[in-house]
Amino acid sequence: MTKEAKGVRRRALLAAFPYTIPIFAGFWFLGLAYGMYMNASGFNFWYPMVMSLVVFGGSLEFVMVTILLGPFAPLATFFLALMIQARHVFYGIAMLDKYKGLGWKRFYLYFSLCDETFSLNYMLEPPPGIDRGWFYFFVSLLNHIYWISGSTLGGLLGSLVKFNTEGLEFVMTALFVVIFLEQWSKEKKHYTALIGLFASLVCLVLFGPDSFLLPAMGLILLLLLLFRKPIEKAGGLTLTADERTVDLP
């Protein structure tokens, strides 16, 4: 490794870190809660640690606690996991352009494409002079590390600690709201955002909190494809990467 390459990576890491601070707060809170939940369900810290390393998806990992306590049903588990994680297909489609040409780093970038990492990396452009690939790589890696360390710590501490963090989970909602607004203020027309909001709310009312996600995704796809012509004509799509400017920490 040459000195110059090290400098490139160091600068990318330092540039990426400030953007991941909200995720650190959210992931340590959720990760601790998840690790403690696993501990209380009779699993030692290896379980949350390994699951956070290889799955890196909070909602599925919480459900897996119940699955691991039940009878061995591999096929049903696989399809349940596919259903819970289906929304990641949207993220993969949205990142095709951004992650193009980033070489081997793409394998890790797609591997670690959870809700929060997708939201951040989609919105962010690396600051001038910072290597694109390494910047997105470090945003993803830092988030991954926060999640693994939080859930491992939760598994180790178990129910030993009790501090009043009630309501801290809202940090994730706030993150999604800010990223939604960031996106909103960069669009000329808001059709796609409103379609997402409308489809999700309708399906939440119709199907309930535990099973609205898949129908909502279906409805979003249907509406987006149905109204493709008017949306494209009205310029209701997000601006391209170089038209975007982000003024963050």
Rounded CA gap, 157 and 217, in Å? 37
| Nearest alpha-carbon partner for 227 in 191, 199, 196, 202 | 191
Q: Which is nearer to other proteins, 9 or 67 (CB)?
A: 67
201 forms part of the interface with other proteins (CB under 8 A): yes
Give the interface segment with other proteins, choosing from 5-13, 131-139, 140-148, 188-196 (CB under 8 A). 188-196
Residues between 85 and 114 that touch other proteins (CB under 8 A): 85-97, 99-101, 106, 110-111, 113
Residue 156, both tokens: 């180790």
Residue closer to other proteins (CB basis): 12 or 124: 124
Where does this chain touch other proteins (CB under 8 A) — which range of 6-14, 130-138, 140-148, 215-223? 215-223
Closest approach, Cβ 47 to other proteins, in A, equals 8
Cα–Cα distance measured from residue 144 to residue 21, given in angstroms and rounded to the nearest whole number: 13
Residues 121 and 140: beta-carbon distance below 8 Å: yes
Query: Which of 3-11, 80-88, 126-134, 139-147 is the region at the interface with other proteins (rule: CB under 8 A)?
Result: 80-88
Neighbour-count burial of 8, counting CB atoms closer than 10 A to its CB (0-12 exposed, 13-18 middle, 19+ buried): middle
Q: Which of 5, 14, 40, 174 binds other proteins (CB under 8 A)?
A: 174
Subset of residues 129 to 168 that bind other proteins, contact rule: CB under 8 A: 164-168
Residues 87, 187: Cα–Cα separation, whole Å: 23
Decide: 132 and 12 in contact? Cβ < 8 Å: no
Binding region for other proteins (CB under 8 A) out of 33-41, 137-145, 151-159, 218-226:
218-226
User: Contact between 238 and other proteins (CB under 8 A)?
Assistant: yes
Q: How many C-beta atoms surround the C-beta of residue 105 within 10 A?
A: 16
Least distance in angstroms from the C-beta of 249 to other proteins: 5
